[in-house]
Amino acid sequence: MRSLRFTGIFLLVLAMLSMCTSAASAHSTVKLQLASAGGNNAGGVYPYPYNLSRNGGASVAMISDTYDNEVTIGETWKAQEAGLLSGHGLFGNQLLDYKAAGPIFNSILHGTLDRNAANFAIWGLFSTNVQNSSSSLFQSSAAGAIERQSLTLAGNAPNSAFQGLVLYSPIPGTQSVNGTAQEYIAYAPVPEPGTMILFGTGMLLLAGMVRRKLKLQN
């Protein structure tokens, strides 16, 4: 009887972990609001960070991948929230470009790349306008070299390397002002499956210890 109860609880925890993993891989619709833009004006535009509120919560620093779209402080819109490699982005299934944007953004977060040049490199992945503009920082910085190197690295990177990178793709027509809003990438670390299973196993062992202690007390 004791082993049957233990098996039942274990299967229940595994089912809950499976549901959590499925939910994390799905996409959903959220409301975004631009709270503030980057700290400095570089080449006539504001690069990373863009601080956005998600569903009325605290603002989170995100990076824009959309050079040709405009947003204004206080503007709101709805966006589709999904994994970076979900294929639901504003630029369709350009998975190699999205993959290249991932390590660039991670390098910004770790302080190993200049945020201005790095953001222009990401813009260059999705916009020929930023590449060809003589006034763009893309021409006068290392953005072009960063873009080329990231594309090379992205071709060999496994999809698991992009875990935690979230894409917020604007839904046209939902913006409060202007045209279609920009698309953004954010980082939201999630427990890896192995970590989740270990956590679930630990909880089961703790529950078993508590039951045994109660029986001894009785």
Per residue in 87-126, pLDDT (tens digit) is 889 998 789 999 999 999 999 999 999 999 999 999 999 9
Per residue in 33-45, pLDDT (tens digit) is 999 997 778 777 8
DSSP states of 85-151: TSS-BTTBT-HHHHHHHHHHHHHHHTT-S-HHHHHHHHHHHH-HHHHH-TTSHHHHSSHHHHHHHHH
Per residue in 141-174, pLDDT (tens digit) is 889 999 999 999 998 888 888 989 999 999 999 9
